[in-house]
Structure 1
């Protein structure tokens, strides 16, 4: 009499690995698509001359859509929500990019920021994927650091201290770099199994990394004088 197949620990590991690879593949594919959508919407925003007021409104709309994405991430509507979210976020930085591009070496600064962002993202992602280390221990530290940075940014709106602004940008770059390791590690080690939520996390890391790297590069080269 033939017995039933035995479900071994090895089978479970193989299934877990396949599932992780699927989430990782879907995440990077969706991330690439959302970045393209953001770039296109930013270009349209610049072309129509979107104002700072409208950009602020779009930023607030984006925060609202972020909650919608997380709520719908387990359904097919989550894809519609994430594309709407990234399109709005892309459009919201149109005026900022227009201002930077109006500087004498604005185009070079934007390209350097894009290149630097790509280098940091791919480098840290490759490190996390290659070593497969668990960076979950960084979660608490990164959240505290992010909270402090947000409070400092709000305070500096009123204080307008250039040195503090540079310090904040440098800190955010470090925090976002840590978040890339943390979020990639969560996907690899099964801590995040929803590719829409994983994409949102990585997208926000890249988004903030680019903005603050552009600000820091501009200040360090004296282009904002």
Structure 2
């Protein structure tokens, strides 16, 4: 009888632990998408400032990339130390700065009479993000094996983009990079969404910035594709 009772208690503890873990994951999911929404607001504010006041960061692409990477590593370091307030400040600084970049690009398209391209890219990004998120949340397929190939693809995109900016200056290569980027970041949306709902991310801040980067880069890629097709 005592063995029977002990087994029941153990099962109860296992169920309790599973419930606690599920509760932690559910909380992380809610906080992640709340922070993602807030990040979008910060990016929109940055775009508004750039479009209406002409404020932008006229930085060399390498310096700009180093700045963004520094903010991301700073966020990770702050999260690791439990300094979530600092991490949040860095998150909103990051999204505001990227918003400045988006605002400058949008202003250029509007000035060139191509405002419809911006609308098309925005709608396509929203639809793609929504569809891929629903798919990732409902599929039972695991995407753990995608991590390394996606990271290698990301490094290739960065390397090719810098080479094309400084040396090749090819519009065809730029379009090819944009198309490849759109594919890679679409896959990243699925990969990161699955990681979020599986509890792989322990910090909603880092989960939010990862998803924000997917959406941000997908939008930029689609903007370049639609802009090239219009030309």
Give the TM-score of the pair, scaled to structure 1.
0.90
1:53 to 55, 58, 73: 58
1:26 deviates by: 0.6
Q: Report the RMSD for the aligned CA atoms in angstroms.
A: 2.2
Q: 1:218 to 1:9 in 2, by over 3 A?
A: same
Residue 120 of structure 1 corresponds to which residue in structure 2? 128
1:198 to 189, 199, 207: 207
Residue 67 of structure 1 corresponds to which residue in structure 2? 73
1:161 to 165, 170, 173: 170
> Between Structure 1 and Structure 2, whose CA radius of gyration is higher?
2
Pairwise mapping of residues 73-222 of structure 1 onto structure 2 (< 5 A)?
73=79, 74-77=82-85, 78-104=87-113, 106-157=114-165, 158-222=167-231
2:42 to 29, 32, 37: 37
Q: Structure 1: where are the runs of 5+ without partners?
A: none
1:52 deviates by: 6.1
Cα distance in 2 between the residues matched to 1:156 and 1:13:
50
Cα distance in 1 between the residues matched to 2:197 and 2:141:
9
Give the TM-score of the pair, scaled to structure 2.
0.87
Residue 19 of structure 2 corresponds to which residue in structure 1? 14
Cα distance in 1 between the residues matched to 2:155 and 2:110:
30
- Secondary structure of the 1:93 match is helix
- Secondary structure of the 2:130 match is helix
1:149-208, Cα deviation, whole Å (9 max, x unpaired): 111111111111111111000000000011111111111112112100000100100110
Cα distance in 1 between the residues matched to 2:159 and 2:66:
17
**Aligned length in residues:** 221
1:34-93, Cα deviation, whole Å (9 max, x unpaired): 101101111111211135625966665333222211111242321122111111121133
Q: Which 4+ stretches in 1 moved above 6 angstroms?
A: 1-4
Cα distance in 2 between the residues matched to 1:81 and 1:70:
10
